[in-house]
Amino acid sequence: MFISMRIAASAPQPLHVRCEPRGARISLLSVMCPSWPGGNEGDKHVAALLPSPAVQRVSVVGTSGAGKSTLAAALAGVLGADFLELDSVHHQADWVPLPTDEFRRRVASVVAGERWVVDGNYSKVRDLVWARADTVVWLDLPRRMVMRRVIWRSFRRAAGRVELWNGNREPWRNFFTLNKEESVISWAWQTHASIRAKFEAAMSDPANGHLRFVRLTSPAAVRRFLRSASSASSASSVSGVD
């Protein structure tokens, strides 16, 4: 795997980072991706993005079941940033969605801060999050992998009666309906391609020229990314850089 760095046409010109298959044609502005065991030089480039004045506010996106919350919480810990899981705000008791105006108000109060990591894809607040973000981390795992994860997660939560947010628990009906509005499993299967297309378009949209995009396409890439972030954080602490 390689990370190819594309400089957007708009000013200021951000660094766009995305993973390309090994053997793919890449530009001279390419470094090894953290998902490749030999990618130590690439780790340096990724680590340079992390905790620094340039990376303070991060939006973590991706399809349901990809591991956004786990990654976002870990990254927030590394960066010493506030962490917000959008699902915890949107899903009120009995899975009733929070009214949009109130949802936007609560999210706006968080993203007004100087250092945070926000996890979630909600289009109704994306403009608020991305207007303040400096970096977007996109978990773009293969659909077969996402489905294994989301099915196991749903089973574990339903069988264990795990409380998620505001007293909500994942219902067994997730396994017995094809209605994506009622099942996170069906949602993950049916929306995977459209979510990928949406964020691919977002990466090339000049309106997002202020954002750095980090596209992680495998669990190995995620692990190496977090290790690079942790190493960068440790180095910053030692040097006194904040």
Each residue's pLDDT tens digit, 149-193: 999 999 999 999 999 999 999 999 889 999 998 999 999 999 999
Quote the DSSP letter at residue 21.
-
Quote the DSSP letter at residue 214.
E
Q: What is the 3-state secondary structure (H, E, C) of 137-182?
A: EEECCCHHHHHHHHHHHHHHHHHHCCECCCCCECCHHHHCCCCCCC
Confidence of residue 46 (pLDDT cuts 50, 70, 90): low
Each residue's pLDDT tens digit, 58-115: 999 999 999 999 999 999 999 999 999 999 999 999 999 999 999 999 999 999 999 9
For residues 195 and 47, give the distance between their C-alpha atoms in angstroms, rounded to a whole number: 27
In the chain, pLDDT over 90 holds for what percent of residues? 66
Angle between helix 68-79 and 219-239 (nearest 10): 10
Question: Across residues 33-58, what is the average pLDDT?
Answer: 55
Higher pLDDT, 60 or 23: 60
Check: CB of residue 2 under 8 Å from CB of residue 18: no
Each residue's pLDDT tens digit, 117-140: 999 999 999 999 999 999 999 999
Q: Is the pLDDT of residue 38 over 80?
A: no
Higher pLDDT, 217 or 18: 217
For 165, the token pair is: 């947010």
pLDDT value, residue 230: 76
For residues 65 and 120, give the distance between their C-alpha atoms in angstroms, rounded to a whole number: 11
Q: Is the pLDDT of residue 34 over 80?
A: no
Check: CB of residue 106 under 8 Å from CB of residue 99: no
Alpha-carbon radius of gyration of the chain: 18
Q: Is the pLDDT of residue 30 over 50?
A: no
